[in-house]
Structure 1
Amino acid sequence: MPTRRTVGWSAAVGAAAVLWTGGIAHADGPAEDTTSDSPPPASGDADNQELSAAVSRIKVTQVSGPTGGKQGTLASTDVNWEPPPCWYEPVMTPEQLKKFSETGLALGHVSPHVSWGGQKLWTAHYRDGKDAYNYEDESLITRKGYDNYNLGKDGYFWRGVARDLEDPDSYGCERVMFWQDAGEVPDVPNAPTPKTLAEYAYNKVKVPDTEVELKPEGESTVNLPTWVWLDKGTFKDVKVRATLPNTGLWAETTAKPVALHLDPGTDDAEVFPSSGDCAINDDGSIGTPYTKGNADETPPCGIRYLRATDGAPYQLSASVTWKITWEGSDGSAGDLPDGTFETTQDMNVQEIQSINR
């Protein structure tokens, strides 16, 4: 991870400085290490002028799938996979930047880990054409200034957004907020793509709770099978759409349920099938409903407990695996790691009672 540095501005800006790693650069004197655990909020009255280091403008809406009842987010089956650590987004028009820079304290982030405090820093670079200096990939970079906020031009100032500021990879989007003409995505590392939006939306997919139906209900009996099933329609595909405003970029991420995994909550049990993985049938159901007369048969999806509970119930875990795919605004498409969502429910198991005469 880059170390904390203080970088001087050109002499024309006087003693103002830019402080690296979440600090505040003051326009009226030498830089001070005023970093804090929480990034400072933006100030000024500009519309849509949030300049917090972790605020993304990506909008996620659900296109299809259940919306009521208990829901939760997916956990990736690939423990090494994570959404992108950072990317760039359009954040302000010339008019909005002018209003922000010349109103109030003008305090906000110019990149995920660098904040500028004081109107002089903002006006010097974006109004008066003064160069700005910043560290990117451990190198000191000079960025040319702008003439009067590019007023009269059609486009946006873009800035990096970090998903997790503690992630060392979030330092890959440290370019000082820069200009891009309207209708164009900047040609820079970590520029957003439909895949970026699909990966961002992964943790926004809400899937329904996984409480399964059991027979017998409430209490099982040692050595007798408990049938497990879910009616068709209980689990349906869930689709969300992620859009990055003012770019034309979007992606739709779809989660499709493909399997149910059972964990009886004890080693003193057998599961059916032996893998514990119950496939989802073509009609969307799981397993087969219990019918009278099936008590001694082996269920296609179920459990047989071999020992009774003693006070505390077993915790039956039901985990649904969801296959994740996406398609984007440019015709691109692909797969993301499967996701799982798990719930538990109490299972009381009794001994068969007999009377000796």
Structure 2
Amino acid sequence: MAQLARSSFVLPDPVIHASPRPEHLQLVGLPTWLWIDRGMWKPKSVTASVPGVSVTVTAKPALVVWWMGDGGKARCDGPGTPYSVGAAPAASSSDCSYTYSTSSAGQPENAFLVKSAITWTVRWSSGGQTGVLAPLTTTAASAFQVAQAQSLTTAPREV
């Protein structure tokens, strides 16, 4: 019955957020902040019943893995921290980020296909008994264009 309840789960797919935003250019050497909506990072439960017996199955988000499209990945134990526009740069930090070392030039649509997958731990309970079921996974994808910028610093010239 726990498997029946587990199979009826409809978990939300992650919504990918990043700073810089996915529709803007990422830069080689600059950390890209990654996060999932905190509102969806909550346990979800479903109950299945037949006369005299009910089983509750609860899925809890455990981690998110980001495949960054360039062969690298980031593993984050939580939803990540949203970037705050008004925060002082020295006081800001991300608990989930990735730094590209190459540009996406030459890739299809000149972008890396970024995929995120949330792993949900699944437990059941019924009549004072509990157990563990196979984890569930929800996924999402987005395209990130990564550019490489270079600068040249020279001594000031008198005019």
> TM range, normalised to the smaller chain?
0.7 to 0.9
- TM-score, scaled relative to structure 1: 0.37
Contact 1:225–1:299 (Cα < 8 Å) also in 2:
no
In structure 2, what residue type is equivalent to 1:307? T
1:339 aligns with 2:102: no
Shift of 1:232: 3.0
Match of 1:212 in 2: 16
Match of 2:39 in 1: 233
Contact 1:206–1:238 (Cα < 8 Å) also in 2:
no
- TM-score, scaled relative to structure 2: 0.79
**Counterpart Cα distance in 1 of 2:139 and 2:47:** 24
1:303 aligns with 2:98: yes
1:278 aligns with 2:76: yes
- Which deviations, in whole Å up to 9, do the C-alpha atoms of 1:174-224 show, x marking residues without a partner? xxxxxxxxxxxxxxxxxxxxxxx1112222111111122100112201111
Q: Aligned in 2, Cα 1:287/1:305: closer, same or farther, shift over 3 Å?
A: same
Match of 2:5 in 1: 201
Which of 66, 70, 76 in structure 2 is aligned with 1:266? 70
Large movers: runs of 4+ above 6 Å = none
Shift of 1:287: 2.1
SS at match of 2:146: strand
Shift of 1:344: 1.1
Count how many residue pairs are aligned between Structure 1 and Structure 2: 146
**Counterpart Cα distance in 2 of 1:323 and 1:355:** 50
- Which deviations, in whole Å up to 9, do the C-alpha atoms of 1:144-177 show, x marking residues without a partner? xxxxxxxxxxxxxxxxxxxxxxxxxxxxxxxxxx
Please show how residues 1-357 of structure 1 align to structure 2 within 5 Å: 197-217=1-21, 218=23, 219-244=25-50, 247-267=51-71, 269=72, 271=73, 276-280=74-78, 286-291=79-84, 292-294=87-89, 299-310=94-105, 311-328=109-126, 330-352=127-149, 354=151
* Max Rg structure: 1
Q: Which runs of 5+ in 2 are unaligned?
A: 155-159
Shift of 1:289: 2.6
Match of 2:157 in 1: none
**Counterpart Cα distance in 1 of 2:128 and 2:153:** 74
Shift of 1:300: 2.1
Shift of 1:298: 6.8
Contact 1:225–1:298 (Cα < 8 Å) also in 2:
no
Bigger share in strand: 2
**Counterpart Cα distance in 2 of 1:339 and 1:259:** 11
In structure 1, what residue type is equivalent to 2:104? T
Q: Which runs of 5+ in 1 are unaligned?
A: 1-196, 281-285
- Which deviations, in whole Å up to 9, do the C-alpha atoms of 1:234-274 show, x marking residues without a partner? 32211111123xx322211111111111111222x4x5xxx
- Which deviations, in whole Å up to 9, do the C-alpha atoms of 1:34-68 show, x marking residues without a partner? xxxxxxxxxxxxxxxxxxxxxxxxxxxxxxxxxxx
Match of 1:139 in 2: none
- Structure with the bigger RCO (C-alpha within 8 Å, sep 6+) is 2
